Amino acid sequence: MFSRSVFSVSRNHPPYGLLLAGLLVLALEPAPAQAFDLDDVAEKAKSLAAEKFAAPASNLPAEFSEMTFADYQQIRFRPDKAYWSDRKTPFKLSFYHQGMHFNTPVKINEIAGGGVAEIPYDPARFDFGTLHFDRNATRNLGYAGFRVLYPINGANKRDEITTFLGASYFRVVGKGQAYGLSARGLAIDTAQPSGEEFPRFREFWIEQPKPQDKHLTIFALLDSPRATGAYRFVLHPGRDAVVDVQSRLFLREKVGKLGLAPLTSMFLFGGNQPPAQPNYRPELHDSSGLQIHSGNDEWIWRPLNNPKHLSVSSYSVENPKGFGLLQRGREFSRYEDLDDRYDLRPSAWVEPQGDWGKGSVELVEIPTPDETNDNIVAFWSPASQPEPGQPLDLNYRLHWTRDEPGLHDRDSAWVEQTLRAAGDVKQKNLVRQPDGSTALVVDFEGPALKKLPPDAPLRPLLGVDGNVEVKENSLRYNPATKGWRLILRVSVKDPKKPTEMRVALVNGEKTLTETWSYQLPANE
């Protein structure tokens, strides 16, 4: 016999019949959709890597593929058509139309309610200005990319804070910042004789944010002739924007140079390389230098150049703690540009998550005649590549900031500026006479120097290559900055070759500053 208690009804145990009914309902109901994550995109990337690359075909009619940049600029997204406008979320989306060299559509999906659905292309979302074309020609086109809008500078203003457009490029800004340098998903064979390969994000998945969310999650699928990849970007808007990046890459075949966490910027001229022609703007660049925090805690600063010939610099580093392209010097007087506001353009800092192993931080500098070309690239290149089809996981955090001291050891000191001029010697009559040398002025600033007395026994630890003769190497206290100024006067032996120099300030056996690593480009 069964005990009465087995069939008794209590507040904690439902009747047996109700329990059976509940199990039957659960069996008949579909299982809840599993959350979309990086593994879902990685499966697509792995499958793609096992197939032969299929180049995307352009679907643009002639009136769109042959349009000028001015015509393309006429195609504007209608602000009232922003995606999620009907939802109580601070994040909104707007889209780029296809046109010009943006000739293949990018599929954009929304993750919502446990499901995934494509955001359909709708030409009604765009104002085409004065462009004349067959309206049927746009019916089967698509989006070239998208923007993320968020009220970062005011509660009632939809500010553009992130943009994904072209290849695997994206840009991000924080509060009070203006667009400048770009990040990329992947760089392949940059500056290699074989020519560079530009992977592209072919599909995106964007999570519909909840009203209280302060972050936005974006997934992306990357494809190129020799590589595929899955990415998860978590965007955190703020005074300084932060993007957490998870990536999983697959090679179809080995490449010459694999560039991970790449940054792309522009340097035309600056204090270390004045303009060839008089210009009211003292400096014109998105970034002034490359900063590296190596695994052994050395800090390195490499001012950028606009060389006459392609230049590639490599810094061997094991388990880097960070690297980035920085815009040091925030005074408007350094740039004097009211239109492009180079003083407001952010620095971008890559902070590795986990150990990256052995490899190098690579800097590529490409000659450019004007500011319309991105001519600076920096990335991490691992010492070894995965076998084709095998995953390579790389995670990092991207900081977009105007607080450059915050990207450095607060107890150390750094190079605030590098100035370059023709060298001269002061004569007995106090007239300065040029002597054919090159003068370099390097100003070091920071907490490690401010707390020292002006007569502290600092000395420069200088190293140069065999292509230079040092004619002057003097260090003096700078009362205006409470730092130290180094003056180097050097004579280059062969102007057809670049010249490398390194210096750090030491007090006894203690290094107080980062290492200034500079290259005088070849003059011919």
Say yes or no to pLDDT of 290 above 60.
yes
What is the mean pLDDT of the segment spanning 42-62?
94
357 in a structural domain: yes
- Regarding whether 378 and 353 lie in a shared domain, the answer is yes
**Residue 148 CA from chain centroid, whole number:** 16
CA dist., res. 504 & res. 412, Å (int): 11
Residue 115 within a domain:
no
Q: Are 479 and 521 in contact (CB under 8 A)?
A: no
319-352 confidence digits (pLDDT tens): 999 999 999 999 999 999 999 999 999 999 999 9
Distances (CA, A) of 236 to 52, 112, 183, 400, 427: 37, 20, 16, 10, 58
For residue 6, pLDDT beyond 90: no
Asked whether the predicted pLDDT for residue 499 surpasses 60, the reply is yes
Q: How far is it, in rounded angstroms, from Cα 148 to Cα 171?
A: 10
Specify whether 351 is located in the same domain as 215: yes
The domain that holds 376 is classified in CATH as: 2.70.98.10
Instruction: Quickly state the pLDDT bin for 10 (edges 50, 70, 90).
Output: very low
> Do 257 and 191 belong to one domain?
yes
**Burial profile 146-174: b = 16 or more Cβ within 10 angstroms, e = fewer:** bbbbbebeeeeebeebbbbbbbbbbbbbb
Full 3-state SS string of 155-188: CCCCEEEEEEECCCEEEECCCCCCCCCEEECEEE
Q: What percent of the chain has pLDDT over 90?
A: 85
Given 387, 407, 427, which residue is the final one in a domain? 407
In a shared domain, residues 385 and 338: yes
The pLDDT of 294-310, averaged and rounded, is 96
What residue numbers bound the domain in which 367 lies? 146-407
Closest CA to 324 of 159, 183, 466, 120: 183
**Whether residue 466 is found in the same domain as residue 353:** no
Q: Are residues 513 and 388 in the same domain?
A: no
User: Model-level pTM?
Assistant: 0.91
Q: What is the pLDDT of residues 401-436, one digit of tens each?
A: 999 999 999 889 999 999 999 988 888 788 888 889
Using the predicted structure, report yes or no on whether residue 479 has a pLDDT greater than 90.
Answer: yes
pLDDT at 34: 55
- Tell me what pLDDT residue 135 has: 83
pLDDT over 90 (residue 21): no
The domain boundary, picked from 407, 432, 448, lies at 407
Residues 384 and 444 in one domain: no
- Do 337 and 366 belong together in one domain? yes
CATH number, domain with residue 498: 2.60.40.10
At residue 114, the pLDDT reads: 85
The answer to whether residue 207 is domain-embedded is yes
Phi-psi region of 93 (alpha: psi -120 to 50; beta: other; left: phi over 0): beta
CA dihedral 12, 18, 24, 28 (to 10 degrees): -80
pLDDT digits (tens, 9 = 90+) for 70-89: 999 999 999 999 999 999 99
Q: What is the pLDDT of residue 11?
A: 33
Residue 276 sits in the same domain as residue 158? yes
Is 30 inside a domain boundary?
Answer: no
Query: What Å distances lie between residue 69 and 9, 75, 100, 180, CA to CA?
Result: 76, 10, 7, 19
* Position 20 in a domain: no
Calculate what percentage of the chain has a pLDDT beyond 70. Answer: 93
pLDDT band, residue 28 (cuts 50/70/90): very low
Q: Do residues 342 and 491 both lie within one domain?
A: no
The better pLDDT of the pair 62, 392 is held by 392
Q: How far apart are CA 87 and CA 133, in angstroms?
A: 34
Q: What is the pLDDT of residue 524?
A: 61
Give, rounded to a whole angstrom, the gap between the first and last alpha carbons of the chain: 103
Q: Among the three residues 375, 407, 439, which one is the final residue of a domain in this structure?
A: 407
Structure confidence at residue 424 (pLDDT): 87
Structural domains in the chain (count) = 2
Q: For residues 41 and 48, is the Cβ–Cβ distance under 8 A?
A: no
Same domain, residue pair 170 and 276:
yes
Q: Is 60 exceeded by the pLDDT of residue 5?
A: no
Residue 500 predicted with pLDDT over 50: yes
Query: What value does the mean pLDDT take over residues 207-226?
Result: 96
The answer on 323 and 265 residing in a single domain is yes
- Give, in order, the Cα–Cα distances in Å from 521 to each of 72, 85, 294, 365, 415: 38, 52, 24, 10, 20
In a domain? residue 136: no
Tell me the mean pLDDT in the region 173-182.
97
Residue 49 lies in a domain: no
- Residue 28 in any domain: the answer is no
